[in-house]
Amino acid sequence: MAELRASDADRERTVAALQHHAAVGRLTVDELDARSERAYVAATIRELAELQADLPALATRPIRRAHGLAPGWRGFTARWHTPIPAELTMAELIAHLAPDVQGQGFDLIQRADDRLRFERRRRPGWVWAVVVLVPILGWFALLHKELYRITVDVAETDRGTQVVASGVAPLPLRRAFAELED
């Protein structure tokens, strides 16, 4: 998988997150200066994430147990709020959520100030049954792949920042999103 290139907006969000951590006493002024300089020259999202690796995530929630989630690829919607501004929330999502979603085979296809969109093409299990049961014509079924999307929207509200994630995903990702819900 290719390294995800960082945009100017990603760099600015990372610097804003570092400034927040310095304001609450997690970084000294010298550390903030050094990390900010590295952020402005970072070429990839991974380099930006490394600058915050030893700092707590700003958009995290207490982990809750998600019950009743069915196995397989299913639709989901998860909503949660965070007290930090939308810009910092997006920086945290890019640094901490995007690598996990990409680890499940999704590609980040849209990155905006208020939205992340991931896609994955996957061959469903029924294709293999057709290949086995209908030998020659069944091979054409191998051409079929289904498109799955996950969209994460961020919006400022009177309660802080609201994050809404929705789409179709496997059980591990749906569980992760369910743990973030309010």
Instruction: Please choose, from the candidates 118, 138, 117, 115, the residue with its C-alpha nearest in 3D space to the C-alpha of residue 128.
Output: 138
Report pLDDT digits (tens) over 142-180. Answer: 888 889 999 999 999 887 899 999 999 999 999 888 888
Q: Which of 33, 56, 79 is the last residue of a domain?
A: 56
Are residue 34 and residue 99 in the same domain, yes or no?
A: no
Q: What's the CATH code of the domain at 157?
A: 3.30.310
Report pLDDT digits (tens) over 51-74. Answer: 988 888 765 443 344 444 678 888
Instruction: Please choose, from the candidates 18, 23, 96, the residue with its C-alpha nearest in 3D space to the C-alpha of residue 61.
Output: 96
Q: Which position has the higher pLDDT, 154 or 7?
A: 154
| Over residues 98-124, mean pLDDT | 92
Are residue 109 and residue 31 in the same domain, yes or no?
A: no
Maximum distance among all alpha carbons in the chain? 68
Is 115 in contact with 154 (CB distance < 8 Å)? yes
* Domain range for 10: 1-56
14 confidence band (pLDDT: 50, 70, 90): confident
Angle between helices 8-23 and 29-41 (to 10 degrees): 170
**What pLDDT is recorded for position 154?**
94
Is 16 in contact with 91 (CB distance < 8 Å)? yes
| pTM for this predicted structure | 0.61
Is 151 in contact with 120 (CB distance < 8 Å)? no
| Over residues 97-104, mean pLDDT | 91
Q: Please count the structural domains in the chain.
A: 2
- Direct distance between the N- and C-terminal alpha carbons of the chain, in angstroms, rounded to an integer: 33
Are residue 93 and residue 118 in the same domain, yes or no?
A: yes
Q: Which of 36, 56, 76 is the last residue of a domain?
A: 56
